[in-house]
């Protein structure tokens, strides 16, 4: 028996065009162009979800470095002292403290500096 794929094809086209909603020019309503645009968008979204983590870690390092240098210690030595003291605050929390709660960050730096 012959199986007609019209229903499946229409569903596929509809899903692709739904994901291309809001795109500019013919990429929003011409299947051939929308398919390519959606594939590229998916590729970029996948890559940038990973780059986002990298970017935030760099931002946290910059903020921690700025806060630590105000107390006379560079970032690398500060992190080494934290590990030696077994203070397990991650970079996200340290950056938050350095930016929004400098008095608490100063206490953390003092604890790390104590030998």
3-state DSSP assignment of residue 25: helix
How many residues are present in the chain? Answer: 115
CB atoms within 10 A of CB 105: 23
Residue 1 lies in a domain: no
Which stretch of DSSP H or E encloses residue 104?
Answer: helix 102-113
Looking at residue 115, its pLDDT comes to 64
The tally of domains found in the chain comes to 1
Looking at residue 81, its pLDDT comes to 93
Residue 23 lies in a domain: yes
Looking at residue 14, its pLDDT comes to 94
pLDDT digits (tens), the chain, 115 positions: 787 788 889 999 999 999 999 999 999 999 999 999 999 999 999 999 999 999 999 999 999 999 999 999 999 999 999 999 998 989 999 999 999 999 999 999 999 988 6
State how far the Cα of 97 lies from the Cα of 104, in Å rounded to an integer: 7
* Among the listed residues 90, 93, 84, the one whose alpha carbon sits nearest the alpha carbon of residue 113: 84
| pTM score, whole prediction | 0.74
Sign of CA dihedral 61, 64, 70, 72: negative
Looking at residue 6, its pLDDT comes to 85
- CATH code, 73: 1.10.1900.20
Q: What angle do CA 55, 63, 78 make, to 5 degrees?
A: 110
Domain containing 79 equals 6-113
Residue 96 lies in a domain: yes
State how far the Cα of 109 lies from the Cα of 67, in Å rounded to an integer: 9
């Amino acid at each position: 028996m012959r199986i007609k794929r019209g229903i499946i094809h229409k569903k596929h086209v509809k899903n692709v065009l739904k994901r291309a909603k809001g795109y500019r020019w013919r990429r929003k309503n011409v299947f051939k162009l929308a398919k390519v645009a959606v594939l590229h968008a998916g590729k970029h979204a996948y890559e940038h979800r990973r780059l986002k983590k990298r970017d935030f870690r760099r931002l946290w390092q910059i903020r921690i470095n700025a806060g630590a240098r105000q107390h006379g210690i560079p970032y690398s030595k500060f992190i080494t002292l934290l590990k030696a003291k077994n203070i397990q605050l991650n970079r996200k929390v340290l950056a938050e403290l350095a930016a929004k709660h400098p008095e608490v960050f100063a206490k953390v730096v003092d604890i790390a500096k104590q030998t």
